[in-house]
């Protein structure tokens, strides 16, 4: 700054000296004027360079000041150079603060984008400012097109509109999801949180699985209560009869036999419930334990022939066959439980004298298939998707007559899933049914080609 005070009079003195040499006193006065004008012109040019540089920074909004062309660079020295240097430092400081803020904002948005819940930012008027991909899936938003659109115009659910209008966000509201259909309902839980100056944060959570689990729990408790109450009622009635009436030995024997039958029914039900509980709480089976398929089928054959003889006078034609001797890896008790349930179900629901064919084969791709084919009445198509539900029965009266608990196919499904296998059900009314479990090739170990019938 002090240099300018010396430079300006110095230019005038030099002009006066040159003017005195060439024009005397009048030339000296003209030299003073010309020297001052030259200084102002030089200084104005430097100021103009600083102004052009500031304009370039403002118009281009450059984040790296070094990319500005050389022709637009400000003065490097003097007052204007010092001002340019100070402005450059201020701009860099501003840019660093902006980059830091943008980086934190990007990290925050990335975190909300990764959230398993839908996140929608609403302004004070209820318009969408931002939403993540989960919210796009939940509501069917377009992340670009629907910005600044009113949320209530896009989520056309009366319950949601009333929830927003009420302004009481202490709880949530449950609505149907965009992908909801009568056959596959989808439920969303929406919760609004106020923040900032009138802004609101809308969170959405898919609670379909929770709702389904709760419904299944209620159904399960109701079904178990019903299944146990029935034999208990029968037992209580027979006990009261034995206690209050004078009965003949034949009558007492008959009542005791019926009581034993109901006790066995409850025992079977409890056993199946414990099996399901053990399957759901146990770690997945490893691949280090192997059991012969022939051994499993031999055990099933003994059980099913005895069951057929006990339930029916004439019995069934039961055929077991093995095509390809092999071992299978898994938990032997679980595998036996699954195969046994399929075979005994076929016997229970096939009127005698019917045919039950049990077959094992190793498929060309190395997978193993266990199949049970019966000549029973078949199953209507509307029942097939629900057969593996707990306590679901096509014919409740016949199931109870033959001692079924309604849990057999649920056990089969769990065992198959735990061993990486698939359960397939094919049936047609009047033409019998075919139940099969296909085990992955990784759980099958061939011994040698063998066919036993």
Mean pLDDT, contiguous 10-residue spans, the chain (453 residues): 63 74 74 75 73 68 55 63 74 78 82 87 90 89 86 89 87 85 84 88 90 77 76 84 84 85 81 81 83 92 84 78 89 91 88 89 92 90 85 62 71 92 91 93 77 42
Would you say residue 173 lies in a domain? yes
Q: Are residues 6 and 78 in the same domain?
A: yes
Is residue 307 within 8 A of residue 351, CB to CB? The reply is no
Q: Are residues 159 and 236 in the same domain?
A: no
pLDDT of residue 283: 82
Would you say residue 137 lies in a domain? yes
- E strands, 153-196, in order: 173-176, 187-195
Is residue 368 within 8 A of residue 438, CB to CB? The reply is yes
Domain CATH for 121: 3.30.450.20
Which of the listed residues 162, 177, 206 is the one where a domain comes to its end?
206
DSSP 150: B
pLDDT of residue 451: 43
- E strands, 171-316, in order: 173-176, 187-195, 199-206, 290-292
Is residue 139 within 8 A of residue 154, CB to CB? The reply is yes
Which of the listed residues 206, 224, 239 is the one where a domain comes to its end?
206
Q: Are residues 165 and 133 in the same domain?
A: yes
Q: Are residues 226 and 273 in the same domain?
A: yes
Q: Which run of H or E residues covers position 153? A: helix 151-154
Instruction: Specify the pTM.
Output: 0.55
CA 156, CA 158: separation in Å to the nearest integer? 6
> Which residue, 275, 355, 281, is CA-closest to 315?
355
Is residue 53 within 8 A of residue 68, CB to CB? The reply is yes
CA 308, CA 323: separation in Å to the nearest integer? 25
Q: Are residues 198 and 243 in the same domain?
A: no
Q: Are residues 20 and 158 in the same domain?
A: no
pLDDT of residue 64: 52
pLDDT of residue 119: 92
pLDDT of residue 397: 52
Domain CATH for 258: 1.10.287.130
Q: Are residues 96 and 245 in the same domain?
A: no
Q: Are residues 249 and 175 in the same domain?
A: no
Report the DSSP pairing between strands 355-362 and 317-329: parallel
Q: How many domains does the chain have?
A: 4
Domain CATH for 432: 3.30.565.10
Six token digits for residue 273: 């419930």
Q: Are residues 220 and 192 in the same domain?
A: no
pLDDT of residue 272: 80
Q: Are residues 417 and 440 in the same domain?
A: yes
pLDDT of residue 417: 92
* Domain membership of residue 413 as a residue range: 283-452
Residue 61: left (phi > 0), alpha (psi -120 to 50), or beta? left
pLDDT of residue 359: 94
Q: Please, what is the angle between helix 293-311 and helix 332-348, to 10°?
A: 30
DSSP 385: G
Q: Where are the alpha helices (DSSP H) in 349-420?
A: 396-401, 408-418
Is residue 341 within 8 A of residue 296, CB to CB? The reply is no
pLDDT of residue 408: 84
- E strands, 299-367, in order: 317-329, 355-362
Would you say residue 403 lies in a domain? yes
């Amino acid at each position: 700054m002090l240099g300018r005070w010396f430079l300006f009079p110095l230019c005038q003195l030099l002009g006066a000296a040159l003017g005195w040499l060439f024009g005397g006193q009048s030339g000296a006065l003209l030299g003073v004027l010309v020297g001052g004008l030259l200084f102002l012109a030089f200084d104005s040019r430097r100021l103009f360079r600083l102004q052009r540089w500031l304009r370039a920074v403002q118009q281009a909004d450059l984040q790296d000041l070094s990319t500005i062309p050389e022709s637009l660079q400000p003065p490097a020295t003097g007052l204007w150079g010092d001002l340019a240097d100070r402005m450059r430092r201020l701009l860099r400081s501003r840019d660093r603060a902006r980059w830091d803020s943008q980086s934190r904002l990007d990290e925050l948005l990335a975190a909300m984008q990764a959230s398993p819940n839908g996140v929608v930012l609403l302004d004070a008027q209820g318009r969408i400012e931002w939403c993540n991909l989960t919210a796009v899936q939940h509501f069917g938003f377009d992340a670009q097109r629907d910005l600044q659109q009113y949320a209530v115009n896009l989520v056309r659910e009366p319950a949601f509109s009333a929830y927003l209008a009420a302004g009481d966000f202490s709880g949530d509201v449950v609505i149907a999801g965009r992908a909801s259909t009568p056959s596959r309902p989808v439920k969303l839980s929406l919760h609004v949180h106020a923040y900032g100056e009138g802004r609101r944060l809308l969170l959405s959570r898919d609670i379909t699985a929770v709702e389904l689990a709760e419904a299944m729990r209620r159904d399960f408790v109701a079904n178990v209560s019903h299944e146990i109450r029935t034999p208990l009622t029968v037992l209580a009635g027979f006990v009261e009869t034995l206690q209050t009436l004078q009965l003949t030995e034949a009558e007492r024997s008959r009542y005791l036999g019926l009581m034993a039958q109901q006790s066995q029914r409850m025992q079977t039900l409890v056993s199946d419930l414990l099996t399901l509980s053990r399957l759901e709480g146990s770690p997945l089976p490893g691949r280090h334990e192997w059991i012969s398929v022939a051994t499993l089928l031999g055990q099933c054959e003994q059980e099913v022939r005895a069951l057929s003889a006990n339930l029916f006078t004439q019995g069934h034609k039961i055929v077991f066959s093995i095509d390809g001797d092999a071992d299978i890896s898994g938990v032997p008790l679980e595998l036996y439980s699954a195969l046994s349930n399929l075979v005994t179900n076929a016997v229970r629901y096939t009127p005698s004298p019917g045919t039950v064919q049990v077959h094992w084969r190793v498929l060309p791709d190395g997978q193993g298939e266990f199949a049970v084919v019966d000549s029973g009445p078949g199953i209507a198509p509307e029942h097939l998707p629900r057969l593996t539900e707990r306590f679901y029965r096509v014919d409740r009266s016949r199931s109870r007559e033959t001692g079924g608990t309604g849990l057999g196919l649920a056990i089969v499904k769990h065992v198959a899933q735990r061993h990486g296998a698939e359960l397939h059900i094919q049936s047609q009314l009047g033409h019998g049914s075919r139940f099969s479990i296909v085990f992955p090739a990784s759980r099958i170990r061939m011994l040698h080609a063998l066919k036993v019938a």
